[in-house]
Amino acid sequence: MEFLLHIFSYPHHLYSFFQRKVLFDIRPNELVLDVGSGDKPFWRADVIADKDIVDDGQRATGSMLFDNRKYFIEADVEKLSFKDNAFDFVFCAHLLEHVPHPDRAIKELTRVAKRGYIEVPGAIGDLLSPFPVHLWFCDYRDGVLIFQQKSKTLSFHQEVIKNFGSRVIKSPAFDYVIAKYANYYIQVFWKKSLKYKIIHVSDPYSYWYSPNTRHAKTTSENIMFRLYRIYYLVMTTLFYRKKDIVIDSLLKHDRKKN
């Protein structure tokens, strides 16, 4: 029974993956920026910006996936060095839940690109199985992307949900229900602007990544990274066309390379 539930879950996971990584209405001539995707860069991106290009310790599954057809640059999403509307499209997945000021990040993303896509984990996942590196609970209601700051101490209800999650999170039946019904990933397409709301708490939770503490890669994570490399290679070989990028033309005057 458990094996069958795993099998039945795969189509939903696969559809979710393609919906989040492949199905984008982007024209071949459009210039695309990816901010903060780390070891799983968006295959269609022409410029890939990450806070740390070299250090792989904080990456969940593997090392940075470099591609000599594209331009890689170190950047902070809260203070991007690009000109206004430098890009036609910006892709930002699983980054804003980590940053201290998601409002600043959103302002920068909507400044440097004409339209884009933002993806964050839904609050349900962080409630059932809290991620220490996430600073915010995320939700999307009535066209508004909501970020609620995590507290240092869990509320009574959060403790109840966490305890329940610790017992069922690895259950095949639970995996099937989550895969089919839950809004586990929030996907937002925006054009020109994006409505958002930031909710602060009096005792905010904080997490600081130490370069001396490397993220240990599990076997499943290593397999996931290798599978993603295959997917990336297939997509870029079949559908990606290299552009002649002059990076200085995209940077603000005070940030141009020497």
Which residues, in sequence order, are CB contacts of 60 under 8 Å at separation 6+?
38, 39, 215, 221
Percent of the chain with pLDDT over 70: 79
Q: What are phi and psi of 225, to 5 degrees?
A: -65, -40
Assign 117 to helix, strand or coil: strand
Tell how strand 113-121 and strand 185-191 pair up.
Answer: antiparallel
More confident residue, 173 or 160: 160
| Model pLDDT for residues 30-61, shown as the tens digit of each residue | 999 999 987 888 999 999 999 887 765 555 55
Identify the pLDDT of residue 5.
47
Taking CA atoms, 44 is separated from 16, 85, 108, 245, in Å, by 18, 18, 20, 14
Identify the pLDDT of residue 214.
57
**Average pLDDT, stretch 204-222?**
71
Q: What are phi and psi of 112, to 5 degrees?
A: -85, -10
User: Does the pLDDT of residue 7 top 70, yes or no?
Assistant: no
Assign 17 to helix, strand or coil: helix
CA angle 35, 37, 40 (to 5 degrees): 145
Say if residues 60 and 36 touch (Cβ distance below 8 Å): no
Say if residues 155 and 219 touch (Cβ distance below 8 Å): no
- Mean pLDDT, the chain, integer: 85
The domain locations on the chain are: 2-251
Closest to 39 (Cα-Cα) out of 228, 210, 215: 228
Closest to 27 (Cα-Cα) out of 89, 92, 93: 89
User: What fold, for 2-251?
Assistant: Rossmann fold (3.40.50)
pTM above 0.85, yes or no: yes
Residue 233's Cα: distance from chain center in Å?
20
